[in-house]
Structure 1
């Protein structure tokens, strides 16, 4: 004799067999408004990215001037290797961006952790200050930085502020510091402090807790902030034009000066290389956050400081 359990299993199987097969789901027809918005979105993206695509294409121009297409070639890229002025400008920009990214990462990480782990009324005041730094026009920052750098370097006699690399690095790190602060705060503000409290209960020193727990939790955002600060510092044109000194001309200022004699294909070639570096940095940011377990929405929110 079959047991009650076996009987129930047989009845359930028979019920599944008798259940009619579900009809294939029909694809819902898209309305004309959805199609129109989709086409409009594609047109907007083309409008935004078409100039960049044109610059990338013309970087392979073998002619003497950028606007005159003479044929496909790699002459513009080979010219970079034989022009000391271009090499110097690119080297200054890369060194400046690296130093500025380090400064912004250190200051922004400490600020972001402080805002996330020590909430209070002061956080909103500090966020307002960071927002002011973010929305202030670059021309205002540049005009304010120039006399300040001159005052520190000449009036107070602090010689390092007479160095072009120092000036460019400090000027480029202002906006980047605010960006890193937003990213680190967004990473930590939604995470509990249970691990840090447990570390303190186990008599770990505050510095040990900070290094092994807090900093480890924030590390994906720290790396993302560093890469974003590096890319943002590469094209800080207005501030760089004001605070630079002779002998340390960064790449954006070099491009501006080249407009007087006509843009050449090597300008587009270096711009293409920097575009590729920027895309690689952004891809690394997304990869670091994805490996940390973030979803696509969380990655976008962290990168924008939301």
Structure 2
């Protein structure tokens, strides 16, 4: 028996197939079909995004009419006060909503991880209910609630557009942060916190020096995800906005009536890059915390 035949017999498994690199030479048609199908699915998902990025460099008057390649659309962002105000409102709203969601979601996630019981499953059910509730339902419910608080209850702060938008955007984000923090702490032993109590540390000191640092990667990831979600709040924003605080998604909807212009695609491209940077920072934070790729995916999914 030759050396090649011996090597092949070692690599061959009990079912007659080859293992390792030799198996790749004998891929079945089903493997090839699945790979082609996967590529087609990715193209289907990302083709609209690629199109909007390409057309952000259009020098034409309308978005759908390609006239040439240039950076005129990005320069227009600096020339139109309405576009600048809409982008500013969206960024400020996303930041405020991320702060609200991170504060509430962090406390909720720590409570669910460190004080288990039947109440946790009820609370997770409520969070899931918030996550799957259609935005139109939240929007219809928030509008009269803000009106009641701002006018009937005499709380003018709820008449402010930024406040309304921030609270509305934080509803779903709070649930996301809660999932992330709980997923981070559930897999970690509470011995360090018990040791802190044994050393006569106060509850607040233990929370600040032990619990919060353990949960910090998930807290930062939740903040960045909440920020990106706040940039994309369209339905709720369309209902609760007030004059002078129109966010970018609502501005785009109103611009559809007169025809989309290339600056719409330019701002969308910038926001897409901002979102990708935020997600990359989330992955980097979790990676530096020692998480594997599987752990990062599980944490970002709240599992």
Q: Same fold (TM over 0.5)?
A: yes
Task: Determine if the alignment matches structure 1 residue 40 to structure 2 residue 37.
Answer: yes
- CA deviation string 1:211-235 (max 9, x = no partner): 0100000000000000000000101
User: Match of 2:270?
Assistant: 273
User: Match of 2:96?
Assistant: 99
Q: Distance in 1 between matches of 2:296 and 2:143?
A: 36
User: Match of 2:195?
Assistant: 198
Equivalent position to 2:283, from 282, 286, 290: 286
Q: Equivalences for 1:180-219 in 2 at 5 Å?
A: 180-219=177-216
Q: Distance in 2 between matches of 1:53 and 1:160?
A: 41
Q: What is the TM-score of this pair, normalised by structure 1?
A: 0.92
Task: Determine if the alignment matches structure 1 residue 242 to structure 2 residue 242.
Answer: no
User: Match of 2:16?
Assistant: none
- CA deviation string 1:184-236 (max 9, x = no partner): 00000011111001111111111111101000000000000000000001011
| Cα distance, 1:277 vs structure 2 | 0.2
Aligned length: 287
Task: Determine if the alignment matches structure 1 residue 23 to structure 2 residue 20.
Answer: no
Q: Equivalences for 1:64-103 in 2 at 5 Å?
A: 64-103=61-100
Q: Distance in 1 between matches of 2:27 and 2:241?
A: 55
Q: Distance in 2 between matches of 1:140 and 1:207?
A: 38
SS in 2 for 1:27: helix
Higher mean C-alpha deviation, range 266-275 or range 25-34: 25-34
Task: Determine if the alignment matches structure 1 residue 164 to structure 2 residue 161.
Answer: yes
| Cα distance, 1:30 vs structure 2 | 1.2
Unaligned segments of structure 1, at least 5 residues: 1-19
- CA deviation string 1:81-125 (max 9, x = no partner): 000000000000000000000000000000000000000111111
Q: What is the TM-score of this pair, normalised by structure 2?
A: 0.93
Q: Distance in 2 between matches of 1:153 and 1:204?
A: 43
| Cα distance, 1:23 vs structure 2 | 3.1
Q: Distance in 1 between matches of 2:162 and 2:220?
A: 23
User: Match of 1:10?
Assistant: none
Equivalent position to 1:252, from 249, 253, 278: 249
Q: Equivalences for 1:221-240 in 2 at 5 Å?
A: 221-240=218-237
Unaligned segments of structure 2, at least 5 residues: 12-20
